[in-house]
Amino acid sequence: MDIRRGALLESNFESYVGRGPTPALRPARVFISVRGECTQWRWCVKVFLDGTYKTACGGGLARVNERGMTAEEIITLLKLRPHPKEGGFFAETYRAGEGVPRGALPQRYTGPRAFGTCIYYLLTPATFSAMHRLQSDEIFHFYLGDPVEMLQLLPSGTGETVVLGSDLAAVMQPQVIVARGVWQGSRLVAGGRFALLGCTVAPGFDFADYEHGRREDLTRSHPQFCEKIVALTVE
């Protein structure tokens, strides 16, 4: 059987591997994404029999995150542009049509805010997310690419470094929360090519809520993180 690029297959696996007690032998609809042609149907059957239900066969077939897509291609496809404040590339993908009036928000907000906003955010080896803080909580999501090191500096003078990524066994996190008022900045882990993240903010992001971190101030308040602060600031 010849599985071609992007083929959508509907098959009853019982007709290929015989009837048996295993619950994996049932009709299945599978999208198999590959670089070229694949005749190794037996490997596709095997992953279903193993109960893993993966969409890659083996024998040289690539999963979606192994196709070698470049940062430039992602920037083009997602219509990303340089972030005017913190660096990196971004595109706003969602801004709630409803919001909260100024009088119903805490005093730290200078005007009304959307209920929530969301962006794509891309880092490359030549960029970093400069240290900054917001008036709203942020939720970062790891989508694609290489791990990202994020520095968080708390108002108490303490801080931590977390790594966004897909390798859970290596204590990477696919989702990271940055509470309002926490200084944060990010960069690719050394050797990385790019990382595509998402960031959700509620109440929604407004540039009026953005505060850029100054190197001198942050190294004074958090001297134990001096080296990383220098790497994530421009002044």
Which residue do the tokens 């999501």 mark?
A: 141
pLDDT at 67: 57
CA angle 144, 150, 154 (to 5 degrees): 145
Contact by Cβ (8 Å): 122, 152 = no
Q: How confident is the prediction for the chain on average, in pLDDT? A: 81
pLDDT at 145: 97
pTM: 0.72
In the chain, which residues fall in CATH 2.60.120.10? 71-231
Min mean pLDDT across 24-28, 116-120, 134-138 is at: 24-28
Phi, psi of 17 (to 5 degrees): -115, 0
Q: What is the pLDDT of residues 190-200, one digit of tens each?
A: 999 999 999 99
Phi, psi of 169 (to 5 degrees): -65, -25
Give percent of the chain above pLDDT 70.
Answer: 71
71-231, CATH topology level: Jelly Rolls (2.60.120)
CA angle 222, 226, 231 (to 5 degrees): 125
pLDDT at 235: 84
Task: pLDDT band for 31, please (50, 70, 90 cuts).
Answer: very low
Q: What is the pLDDT of residues 174-193, one digit of tens each?
A: 999 999 999 999 999 999 99
Q: What is the pLDDT of residues 38-75, one digit of tens each?
A: 434 343 433 333 444 343 434 443 334 445 789 999 99
CA distance 196 to 6: 23
Distances (CA, A) of 225 to 130, 219, 221, 232: 14, 7, 9, 11
Task: pLDDT band for 36, please (50, 70, 90 cuts).
Answer: very low
- DSSP symbol at 71: H
CA distance 123 to 130: 11
Phi, psi of 108 (to 5 degrees): -70, -15
pLDDT at 174: 98
Nearest Cα residue to 32 out of 51, 10, 50, 8: 8
Higher local confidence (pLDDT), 44 or 77: 77
CA angle 184, 185, 187 (to 5 degrees): 150
Does position 98 have pLDDT exceeding 80, yes or no? yes
Task: pLDDT band for 21, please (50, 70, 90 cuts).
Answer: very low
